Structure 1
Amino acid sequence: MKPLRKIRLGIVGCGIAARELHLPALKNLSHLFEITAVTSRTRSHAEEFAKMVGNPAVFDSYEELLESGLVDAVDLTLPVELNLPFIEKALRKGVHVICEKPISTDVETGKKVVELSEKSEKTVYIAENFRHVPAFWKAKELVESGAIGDPVFMNWQIWVGMDENNKYVHTDWRKKPKHVGGFLSDGGVHHAAAMRLILGEIEWISAVAKDLSPLLGGMDFLSSIFEFENGTVGNYTISYSLKGNERFEITGTKGKISISWDKIVLNEEEMKVPQENSYQKEFEDFYQVVAEGKPNDLGSPVQALKDLAFIEACVRSAGNKVFVSSLL
């Protein structure tokens, strides 16, 4: 059997996502990727990261890394506002990109990422790991098979309850967010990706967004009502500051499914869904896109832009308020 050609990968940004999410996945995929170069805003962070992966070359700047000839692709785990310029620089040097979500700070600049990707022969892959979660694919399968009849209503309530002990709270770029809605888009594009995967495109949205916690940067509470193109009505409510139990349900004309990470309950029947490392699955998919010519469906910048557009529409929504007093 012909050995697989490894992709030489440069890690750009050595923060939480690179260390705790991407690195474990890449260590399991050492037959597909070789980390050959590292850079970060602080050189000591890059050097620490390099020691964790076998001492690849450490560069003082992103530009030096791209000029080195040591990488076929870069893995960008950066503050969101840097995605666009860093993607552009990589493509100019003929280097493939896998980039953490959201695609950009807002839809307008996200469109520029899409445009760059469409003009380039190199791959731009937005790393949305929720598009690789088996439970969401199982839910999609059940809905499309008619297991609950015609879907009528989707309800997803998420209560994250971040406090001062949460590591993400203390990230500088999250404390003073330049991306629309702050945590609402940082985490919310995940949820948009899952909802759209299961039920398709979203036609219209009305929402209320609030800033409840002085600890978190930007808005941290959102409640929305919307309609999918297939007619399903949705409610997505999330709070990053309030604690509670998550609930994800889809009700149809012939039943209901409740979705969890490791199981789905169809009416009263519980179906176990094996959990997989969704970060590893996205890197495997990225490899197949770059090295084997697989269509870039799951890391598509267009899909990532639609995820962000959902959240930006929520944040911009005026709520279409009708005051009860006006009727009395």
Structure 2
Amino acid sequence: MEKIVRLGLIGCGVAARELHWPALRQVGDAVQLVAVCNRTADKARALAELAGGIDWYDDWQSLLARPDIDAVDIVLPATLNLEATRAALAAGKHVLVEKPLAANPDEARAMLVLAQAHPDRVTMVAENFRHAWFLRRLRAWLAQGEVGRAYALHWHAMTTMAHDNRYIVSGWRGSEAFPGGLLLDAGVHYVAVARALLGEVTEASIEVSSVDPHLGRYDGGSLTLRTDSGAHATLNLYFSTVGHEEWRLVVLAERGSAEYDGATLTLRGADGRVQHEPKPDDDGYAAEFRALAAAIRAGQGGSDFAEGWRDMRVITSALAQPGQRVRIGD
């Protein structure tokens, strides 16, 4: 029987309760949640009870001191990722940290340095889009070769994030410590998919909007990307729209096209064949934990923090010069 990874969770907010814990329930044969931590004791206690009465703490030092915990799942505001990751690695734990990798480019680079200094530890970014069903399916569709290479991607993600939205009320996305606002926090999802399908981004430009200060400095923008394959992408990401809701991904290949609306993936080939594939119950969260467990079991160490940095770097580089086309480099 393969070893079950014993996991501690740091940060018991809405993402931990509604996204990470349900995924952990699906992967009990690979990962076991044994303790949780939150500076607000009531939140820690509530999640511990939800998870079956496991141990809880109101400081992460106590959780990290436990020798029976193999890895930690850090589900904190991005402004705390560096501090928590540093402490976890110093305690000898493997790390899964919620995206975005860090609050700003300097802290993201520091995260890379930390990972490089602990090559025997697994360090992963919890970017669920990278593990989600629709991306796996699109990559397999392109890999078959029948439709040729993907040369363009267009994504419209437009919605209203109300002030009382449970994912927004904590307010850290609007703080000066997180200058990218909701555009950076959510935008890394879309960049991750564009990179996975089209290749590394070499140039980017962005036009931004700042409609609702509660959502941070930037709550919307149109991001244009060019990749090393010669493909291009347009990401229209707006989170303060009034009266318009849309979430639609279109991928254009040389001999086919794909469209995904969050519920159904439609694939079209040159032969006129059309496939409609409904979304299964798979947003990528369970796959993240399985990937973490597999890496730990294999004893391979290593990091995908660089992937999280590349997602983030595209947006932060463009935001540094709005309206200008910028080169994306290391």
**TM-score surpassing 0.5?**
yes
State the alpha-carbon separation in 2 of the partners of residues 286 and 253 from structure 1: 35
Paired residue for 1:288?
A: 294
The yes-or-no answer on 1:248 pairing with 2:249 is yes
State the alpha-carbon separation in 1 of the partners of residues 197 and 221 from structure 2: 21
Of residues 153-162 and 73-82 in structure 1, the stretch that sits farther from structure 2 once superposed is 153-162
Paired residue for 1:305?
A: 309
Pairing of 1:36-115 with structure 2 (within 5 A): 36-115=34-113
Per-residue CA deviations over 1:67-101 (Å, capped at 9, x if unaligned) read 23241111110010111111111111111111101
Pairing of 1:187-206 with structure 2 (within 5 A): 187-206=186-205
Pairing of 1:1-328 with structure 2 (within 5 A): 3-120=1-118, 121-176=120-175, 178-242=177-241, 243-261=244-262, 262-266=264-268, 269-272=274-277, 274-275=279-280, 276-293=282-299, 300-320=304-324
* Aligned-residue offset at 1:274: 4.8
* Aligned-residue offset at 1:150: 4.3
Q: Is the 8 A contact 1:156 1:246 kept in 2?
A: yes
Q: Is the 8 A contact 2:150 2:254 kept in 1?
A: yes
Q: Is the 8 A contact 2:172 2:178 kept in 1?
A: no
State the alpha-carbon separation in 2 of the partners of residues 38 and 295 from structure 1: 24
Q: Which amino acid aligns with 1:199?
A: L
Of residues 65-74 and 87-96 in structure 1, the stretch that sits farther from structure 2 once superposed is 65-74
Moved >6 Å (runs of 4+):
none
Q: Which amino acid aligns with 1:313?
A: S
Of residues 227-236 and 136-145 in structure 1, the stretch that sits farther from structure 2 once superposed is 136-145
TM-score, scaled to structure 1: 0.90
Query: Could you say what secondary structure the match of 2:63 adopts?
Result: helix
Q: Which amino acid aligns with 1:16?
A: V
Closer/same/farther in 2, CA of residues 30 and 223 from structure 1, 3 Å limit: same
Q: Which amino acid aligns with 2:169?
A: H
State the alpha-carbon separation in 1 of the partners of residues 132 and 226 from structure 2: 23
Per-residue CA deviations over 1:278-321 (Å, capped at 9, x if unaligned) read 1111101110011124676xx71111110001111231233139
Of residues 115-124 and 29-38 in structure 1, the stretch that sits farther from structure 2 once superposed is 29-38
Percentage identity across paired residues of the two chains: 27
* Aligned-residue offset at 1:9: 1.2
Gaps of 5+ in 1: 322-328
Query: Could you say what secondary structure the match of 2:151 adopts?
Result: strand
Per-residue CA deviations over 1:79-133 (Å, capped at 9, x if unaligned) read 1011111111111111111110111012221111111112211111111111111
Q: Is the 8 A contact 2:132 2:285 kept in 1?
A: no
Per-residue CA deviations over 1:49-81 (Å, capped at 9, x if unaligned) read 111112222223111211232411111100101
Query: Could you say what secondary structure the match of 2:246 adopts?
Result: coil
Q: Is the 8 A contact 1:102 1:186 kept in 2?
A: yes
Q: Which amino acid aligns with 1:139?
A: L
Q: Is the 8 A contact 1:288 1:294 kept in 2?
A: no
Closer/same/farther in 2, CA of residues 89 and 164 from structure 1, 3 Å limit: closer
State the alpha-carbon separation in 1 of the partners of residues 158 and 46 from structure 2: 34
Gaps of 5+ in 2: 326-330
State the alpha-carbon separation in 2 of the partners of residues 273 and 228 from structure 1: 29
Paired residue for 2:328?
A: none
Q: Which amino acid aligns with 1:285?
A: A
State the alpha-carbon separation in 2 of the partners of residues 295 and 96 from structure 1: 9
